[in-house]
C-alpha cells in the first residue's frame, strides 16, 4: 500500500510544544530534544531539492518556512487534530509550516527513508500554494497535486510502478474524475497516490515538464495545453501503464 496524507488547509491546528532548534538557508526546524540528531539530514534533503522545485515551478520564496518534526505518529495526529487517523498519515503542510512524523520513529507503515521523501513531498505542496494561491489550490485536481508531489520527491519508483501494474490485472484503474472526487481518506484507500504519480509521470515523459507546470497553474486549460481532450489523455495514460505505443 502506497499512501500518505496532505492537508493543505488544516483547520484548528493544536499548539505544540516543539522548540526551535536550528535553521538552514531556507528553513527553520522545530523538534523535541530526541529528534535533534535527525534535523541535519532533513535540512540536507530539503536544501538539495529546493532549487530544482523552485526552478520547475518558476517561483521564489522570500522567507524561511518552518519544519515541525513530531516525535511519533500519535503526537503528530494530535497536532493536526486527527487523533484517530491511521498510521499512514505522517505528513502535511499548513501555511508556512511543514509538519511530519520523525524519521527516527516512523510508525508501522513508513520507514526512515520514506519519511525523508515525505518532507520533500510536503514542500512541493507548499511551493504549489505559493505559485497558485488559495484559489488555485482549490481548483487543482487532487491527482495533479498529489502526483506532482510524488514525482518531485522521488516517490515514483519501480515498486510503485509494479504495484500499479499488478493492480491493473485485477481491475480497471480509477478514473481521473474518481481520483479528484475522493476524500483524503478515500484517496488513500483507493491507492490514489500511486495512480496519480503515474499520471504525472506519463504527462512529463510524453509531453515534458513545462506543460505539466502550465497545467498546475491553469488546470482548466488542459485541452489547450495538450491539444487533446482530457478523455484522450486519460486513454493515453492507460496505454502508458500497459506499455502500449501511444499514438
Q: Give 128-150 pLDDT, tens digit per residue.
A: 999 998 888 889 999 999 999 99
How far apart are the C-alpha atoms of 153 and 84, rounded to whole Å? 27
Q: What is the mean pLDDT of residues 70-91?
A: 95
The neighbouring-strand residues paired with 19 are 31
pLDDT at 93: 93
Q: What is the mean pLDDT of residues 15-24?
A: 86
How does DSSP classify residue 29?
E
Indicate the pLDDT class of residue 12, thresholds 50, 70 and 90. very low
Q: What does the pLDDT look like over 170-227, one tens digit per residue? A: 899 999 999 999 998 899 889 999 999 999 999 999 999 999 999 999 999 999 999 9
Q: What value, to the nearest 5°, has the Cα angle with vertex 92 and ends 23 and 99?
A: 30
- For the chain, domains (ranges, CATH) are 19-137 (3.30.2010.30), 140-241 (no CATH)
Percent above pLDDT 90 for the chain: 80
Backbone angles phi, psi at 227, to 5 degrees: 70, 20
The neighbouring-strand residues paired with 30 are 20, 68
Helix (H) or strand (E) holding 94: strand 91-94
Percent above pLDDT 70 for the chain: 93
Name the average pLDDT for the chain: 92
Amino acid at each position: 500500500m502506497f499512501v500518505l496524507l496532505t492537508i493543505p488547509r488544516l483547520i484548528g491546528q493544536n499548539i505544540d510544544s516543539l522548540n526551535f532548534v536550528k535553521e538552514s538557508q531556507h528553513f527553520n526546524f522545530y523538534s523535541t530534544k530526541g529528534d535533534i540528531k535527525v534535523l541535519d539530514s532533513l535540512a540536507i534533503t530539503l536544501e538539495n531539492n529546493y532549487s530544482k522545485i523552485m526552478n520547475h515551478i518558476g517561483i521564489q520564496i522570500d522567507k524561511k518556512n518552518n519544519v515541525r518534526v513530531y516525535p511519533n505518529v500519535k503526537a503528530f495526529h494530535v497536532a493536526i487534530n486527527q487523533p484517530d487517523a491511521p498510521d499512514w498519515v505522517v505528513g502535511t503542510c499548513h501555511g508556512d509550516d511543514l509538519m511530519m512524523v520523525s524519521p527516527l520513529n516512523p510508525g508501522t507503515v513508513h520507514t526512515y527513508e520514506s519519511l525523508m521523501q515525505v518532507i520533500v513531498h510536503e514542500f512541493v505542496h507548499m511551493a504549489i500554494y505559493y505559485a497558485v494561491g488559495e484559489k488555485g489550490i482549490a481548483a487543482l485536481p487532487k491527482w495533479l497535486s498529489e502526483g506532482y508531489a510524488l514525482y518531485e520527491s522521488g516517490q515514483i519508483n519501480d515498486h510503485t510502478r509494479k504495484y500499479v501494474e499488478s493492480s491493473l490485472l485485477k481491475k480497471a484503474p480509477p478514473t481521473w474524475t474518481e481520483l479528484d472526487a475522493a476524500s483524503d481518506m478515500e484517496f488513500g484507500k483507493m491507492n490514489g497516490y500511486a495512480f496519480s504519480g503515474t499520471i504525472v509521470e506519463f504527462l512529463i515523459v510524453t509531453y515534458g515538464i513545462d506543460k505539466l507546470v502550465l497545467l498546475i497553474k491553469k488546470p482548466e486549460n488542459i485541452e489547450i495545453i495538450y491539444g487533446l481532450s482530457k478523455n484522450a489523455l486519460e486513454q493515453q495514460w492507460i496505454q502508458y501503464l500497459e506499455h502500449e505505443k501511444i499514438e
